[in-house]
Amino acid sequence: MVRILVYVIAVVGGIGIAVWLADHPGTVTLEWQGWRLDTTVPVLLLLLVLLTGVLAVLWRLLGLLWALPHRMHQRHGERRRRRGYAALSAGFAAIAAGDAGRATKMANEAGRRLGDPETSLLLQAQAAELSGDGTAVRKYYGLLRANPVTEMIGLKGLITEAHRTGQHDQVLDLARRAVTVQPVDWAVRALFKALVREHRWADAGAALAHNHRTHAFKPHEAERYQIVLDTQQALEADAAGDRRTALRLTRRVLRKEAGMVPASLLAARLYHVEGKTRKAAGVVEDAWRRTPHPGLAQAYFDIWPGDDALKRTQRAERLAVRNPDHPEGRLMVAGAALEAHLWGQARSQLAPLLAAEVPPQRAVALMARLEQLEHDDATTTANVWLQRVSMASPDAGWRCRNCGTDTAQWGACCAHCDGFDALAWVAAPSRALSRRTERTRAVT
């Protein structure tokens, strides 16, 4: 609407000027170098308009000619960039397809065409990772690290490469730098794992303390890790003779997880040393209610070293009722009853365990011992039970969930693979079950 109004005003104005000039024609005379030009004012104005138009066209043509080289260079650059980005796309597609050779080729082409090596550094680094060229990986990720914009990408790549090559001291330094630059979840996790690998339990706990801000670990995961760290520190403090620190840490652990067996065993022993029998017994009883364990049974008996066999049996029954019908409770009571020569009670406790398809090794061994003691000689029945021991389910023990290594003592890390919080109290597969599995595999 505005444009139409302006157009109408311009037309009306032009017509008005033309009418005015027609009513007042006037004449113009120009003399120059002996030349004389006589004309009217309207004609002169028309000539000036035409001259202005010609000059404008010439100026435009000169501008186009002047800008032509720049435009040609610009179009060439755009073509190079398009081809460069196409090479980047092809390179990342090759990475996804696992084609290291093509990925490297496309990375080099992208860097050459784009004229900016940093643009293709990530592709070159990933191509080097795919081809297993550690030197190139460190080079390209190092260049990415040198740029503040891409420093975190470079640090993450260098941490991964250091893990791959076993350079764990570098992992710790790089992870610390990454957390300083930007405490994202992967950086905090990398730092935590590096500190744990170095057995720097307190520093690892400090990293967990900031989890409410970094959210690198789920809340239950962070709490579990802190329990493991505190338990390990308590064991080391006790080994160093610092019982006060050890007891303080175990109390903190048991407030969060009363069934943490290593912490319960240590706390019971420390309370017993201090003469706090009731507290020692309470720790074992709380742990047994959640996680029955043969070590807890022995710790319970150790609280009253002067008990006779009958009294030990009574204490075993008292502890067993806190987790009724659990196999460990039956084995504990059966063992105590056996020492007290209570043959009937021992048999009644072992009977449900021996009725299983693959009974526990300890139950079979106790039954063989029972036959020997009850009949006061090595009877045929006892020998039969002794022969069955090798076919029974092996006793449970501390085993790494990652590598399957068995160990006699619990620790925060597996001694074989350094897996953190990887040790679990589990039973090994029985020989009979293993042989049955092998036969099944052979048939199939």
List, for residues 69-84, the tens digit of each pLDDT value: 777 767 766 777 788 7
- Positions in the chain short of pLDDT 50: 431-444
**Has residue 377 been placed in a domain?**
no
Question: Which whole-number Å values give the CA distances from 187 to 174, 209, 311, in the listed order?
Answer: 9, 15, 56
Question: Which whole-number Å values give the CA distances from 282 to 260, 267, 271, 331, 336, in the listed order?
Answer: 14, 10, 10, 21, 20
Residue 137: which CATH number?
1.25.40
pLDDT of residue 82: 80
Could you give the number of structural domains in the chain? 1
| pLDDT tens-digit series, residues 106-125 | 877 877 777 666 678 888 88
- The angle formed by the CA atoms of residues 324, 330 and 334, to the nearest 5 degrees, is 140
pLDDT of residue 282: 97
| pLDDT tens-digit series, residues 381-399 | 777 777 787 777 888 899 9
**Has residue 142 been placed in a domain?**
yes
**Has residue 16 been placed in a domain?**
no
pLDDT of residue 434: 45
Please give the residue range of the domain that contains residue 114.
79-184
Residue 350 token pair: 């072992």
Q: Is 48 exposed, middle or buried (0-12, 13-18, 19+ CB in 10 A)?
A: exposed
Question: Which whole-number Å values give the CA distances from 64 to 69, 70, 71, 135, 372, in the listed order?
Answer: 10, 10, 9, 51, 113
**Has residue 129 been placed in a domain?**
yes
**Has residue 275 been placed in a domain?**
no
pLDDT of residue 444: 41
pLDDT of residue 436: 45
Contact indicator for 140, 160 with CB cutoff of 8 Å: no
**Has residue 59 been placed in a domain?**
no
pTM of the predicted protein model: 0.76
Residue-by-residue DSSP string for 370-391? HHHHHHTS--HHHHHHHHHHTT
**Has residue 139 been placed in a domain?**
yes
**Has residue 395 been placed in a domain?**
no
**C-alpha span between 231 and 246 (Å, rounded):** 9
